[in-house]
Amino acid sequence: MMTSNRYLRAVETPLLLVLLVTAVALIGQLSGSPVISRVVVQALVWMVLVVGLSIFTSNSGVMSFGHLAFMAIGAYTCAYLTIPVALKRVLFPSMPSGLKWLIEIQSGFVLAILVSGVVAAFFATLMSPPLMRLGGMEASIGSIAFLLIVQTILSQWTDVTRGASSLIGVPATTTVIGAAVAVAISIILAWVYSRSRFGLMLKASREDEAAAISLGIRVGFQRSIAWCLSGFVAGIAGALYSHFISTFDPLSFYLNATFAAIVMLVVGGLINLSGAVVGVTVISVVQEMLRRLQDGSIGGLTLPAGSSTIAMAMILLFFLIKRPAGLMGDEELEFRSLKGSGSWFRKGSRGQADRTE
Partner 1 sequence: MSQFLQYLLDAISVGGVYTLLTLGLALLFGVMRLMNFAYGELIMVGGYTMAALSDQPWPIVVIAVPVVTTLFSVLTERLAFRPLRNASPVTLMIAAFAVSTMLQNLARMTIGPIAKGVPPNKFLVTQTEVAGLRISALQIVTIVLCGAVLAGLGYLLVRTALGAELRAAAEDFEMAKLLGVKANLVIVSAFAITGALAGIAALILVWRQGAVNIEMGAQPLLIAFVGAVIGGMGSLRGAAAGGFLLGVTTTLLGAMLPQALVPFRDAFVFAAVIALLVVRPQGLIPAPGVRVS
- Closer CB to partner 1, 111 or 317, in the complex: 317
CB of 55 to partner 1, least distance (A): 17
Task: CB nearer to partner 1: give 161 or 174.
Answer: 161
- Residue 178 or 324 having the CB closest to partner 1: 324
**Distance in angstroms (rounded) separating the CA atoms of residues 52 and 17:** 15
Instruction: Please report how close the Cβ of residue 113 comes to partner 1 at its closest, in angstroms.
Output: 27
In this structure, what are the phi and psi dihedrals at residue 306, rounded to the nearest 5 degrees?
Answer: 100, -20
| Cβ partners under 8 Å of residue 245, min gap 6 | 170, 252
If the CB atoms of residues 187 and 266 are measured against partner 1, the closer one turns out to be 266
Select 118 or 316, whichever has its Cβ closest to partner 1: 316
Tell me the closest approach of the beta carbon of residue 139 to partner 1, in angstroms.
9
Which of 1/321 has CB closer to partner 1?
321
Contact positions vs partner 1 (CB under 8 A): 62-63, 127, 129-131, 133-138, 140-142, 144-146, 148-149, 152-153, 156-157, 209, 219-220, 255-256, 259, 262, 266, 304-307, 309-310, 312-314, 316-317, 320-321, 324, 350, 353-354, 356-357
Cα separation of 21 and 346, whole Å?
A: 27
Question: Minimum Å distance from CB 294 to partner 1?
Answer: 10
Q: How far is the CB of 19 from partner 1 (least distance, A)?
A: 30
Shortest separation between residue 262's beta carbon and partner 1, angstroms: 6
